[in-house]
Structure 1
Amino acid sequence: MIRLYLVRHGQTVENLEHILQGHMPGHLTNAGKEQMRQLGKELAGIHFDHLLCSDLQRAIDSAICMNLSLPVTTTPLLRERDWGIFTGCKIETIRRDEAFPESVESTEQLYCRATLFIEFLLKNYDGKSILCVSHGLFNRFISSVVSGKPYYEIPRFENSGFQILQVEQLPQKRPCCTTSDKDEASAN
C-alpha cells in the first residue's frame, strides 16, 4: 500500500489572470509561495519517503517552498492538461459549446496518463509514503483512478490544497467519463 499526499501547486500570476497554463511554466505569486511555506509547516511532522513533482516550474517552485528537506524528483507524468492551442489563453475566451480541437489533451488521455502514474507508483514505491506536487485538474484524474469515481465527482483542488489517498491497486472498473472535455476549461 502507498500513502499518497496529492498537493496542488501554489497560486500563480496566471491563476489570478484566469489563463489556461497547461504546460506553461507558471510563476508563483508571493501569496502562492507563502501558501506553500504554510503547507510545508503543516506537513512537517509527517514522514515522507519521496517527493515526486511535475516537471513544470510552478510545481517545482511550490515543492521547494515547502522546505521539507527532501530531494525533488520530477516527472512529466504529473503535468497539467496540455491545453494545446488554448495554452496561454484566457479561460473566458474558450467556447464551451464546441468540442475541443485535437491539440487539447482529451479526458481519455488524462485518464491514461493518471493510470500510468499509479502503475509507476505501485511498481516503484509500494509500502512508501509519497508527497506528490502536481496540478489541480490532473490531481482530480489521479484521485479518480484510485477511487474509481469519475473525475468530475472529485472536488476541485484549491491552490496549495491537498488530499490523502491510500493506493493499493488499480480498481478493476475504470471511472466513466460522461461530461465533455469543454466543461473542464474552468478547472485550470
Structure 2
Amino acid sequence: MTTLYLARHGETVDNVNQIMQGQTQGRLTDNGIRQAEALRDEMASATIDAVISSDLKRAVDTATIIAEPHRLPVATTKLLRERDWGSFTGRHIPELKDEVWPDDIETIEQLKQRAAEFIGMLRRDYAGKTVLAVGHGIINKAIQAVHYGKGMHEIPRMENAETRLLHIV
C-alpha cells in the first residue's frame, strides 16, 4: 500500500485575480507562500519518503517549501499538471460563464486517464512508501474520483495548500 498525501499548491496571483491558469507556470502570492509554510510546519513530523510535484512553478514552489524539513528532492511529473483549458487559458473566469466551450479544452475523460496513470505510477514506483504529491485543484479532484470510483462532481473542491490522505492499494 502507498500512502498519499495529496496537496494543492498555495494561492497564486491568478487565483486572486480569477484568471484561468490551466497549464501556465503561475506565481505564489505572499499568502500562498505562508500557506505552503503552514503546511510544511503541519507536516514536519510526518514520515514522507518522496515528494512529487506537477512540473508547473506554482506547484514546484509549494512542494519545495513543504519538503524542506524532510530534506527530500522534489521529483516532477506532467501527470500532475492542472487541466489544460485551451483557449480559455489566461481569461477572466467570470467572463466565461455563458461561453461555449471550445474543442481545445482537455476533456474529463482525458483528465481522468492522466489521473489513472499517476495512480499507476504510484503503485509501480512507490509501493509501500509515503508520498507527498503537490498538484492542482482539478487534477487532484480527478485523482480522487478515479481512486474512489466516483464522479468528479462528487469530490469536494480542495482549497489552496489543503491536503487529503489516500491509501493506494
TM-score normalized with structure 1 length: 0.86
Question: Residue 26 of structure 1 aligns to a residue in which SS?
Answer: coil
In the aligned structure 2, how far is the partner of 1:57 from the partner of 1:102?
A: 26
Across the aligned residues of Structure 1 and Structure 2, the Cα RMSD in angstroms comes to 1.0
* Aligned pairs, number: 167
The alpha carbon displacement at 1:102 in A equals 1.7
Q: How does 1:21-60 map to 2 (within 5 A)?
A: 21-60=21-60
Find the counterpart in structure 2 of residue 153 from structure 1. Answer: 154
Question: Residue 6 of structure 1 aligns to a residue in which SS?
Answer: strand
The alpha carbon displacement at 1:65 in A equals 2.0
In the aligned structure 2, how far is the partner of 1:64 from the partner of 1:52?
A: 10
Find the counterpart in structure 2 of residue 64 from structure 1. Answer: 64
The alpha carbon displacement at 1:93 in A equals 1.6
Letter aligned with residue 93 of structure 2: I
Letter aligned with residue 79 of structure 2: L
> Which range moves more in the overlay, 58-67 or 122-131?
58-67
Summarize the Cα distance change of 1:13–1:97 in structure 2 as closer, same or farther, 3 Å threshold.
Answer: closer
Letter aligned with residue 35 of structure 2: Q
Detail structure 1 runs of 4+ shifted over 4 Å in the superposition. none
The alpha carbon displacement at 1:152 in A equals 1.0
Letter aligned with residue 20 of structure 1: M
In the aligned structure 1, how far is the partner of 2:146 from the partner of 2:40?
A: 26
Letter aligned with residue 138 of structure 1: I
Find the counterpart in structure 2 of residue 94 from structure 1. Answer: 96
Q: Deviations over 1:28-67 (max 9, x none)?
A: 0000001000100100111111000000000011112222
Find the counterpart in structure 1 of residue 4 from structure 2. Answer: 4
In the aligned structure 1, how far is the partner of 2:41 from the partner of 2:50?
A: 17
Summarize the Cα distance change of 1:96–1:3 in structure 2 as closer, same or farther, 3 Å threshold.
Answer: farther
The alpha carbon displacement at 1:96 in A equals 4.2
Gaps of 5+ in 2: none
Question: Residue 33 of structure 1 aligns to a residue in which SS?
Answer: helix
Q: Deviations over 1:85-106 (max 9, x none)?
A: 01000111214463x2221101
Question: Residue 126 of structure 1 aligns to a residue in which SS?
Answer: coil
In the aligned structure 2, how far is the partner of 1:5 from the partner of 1:162?
A: 6
TM-score normalized with structure 2 length: 0.96
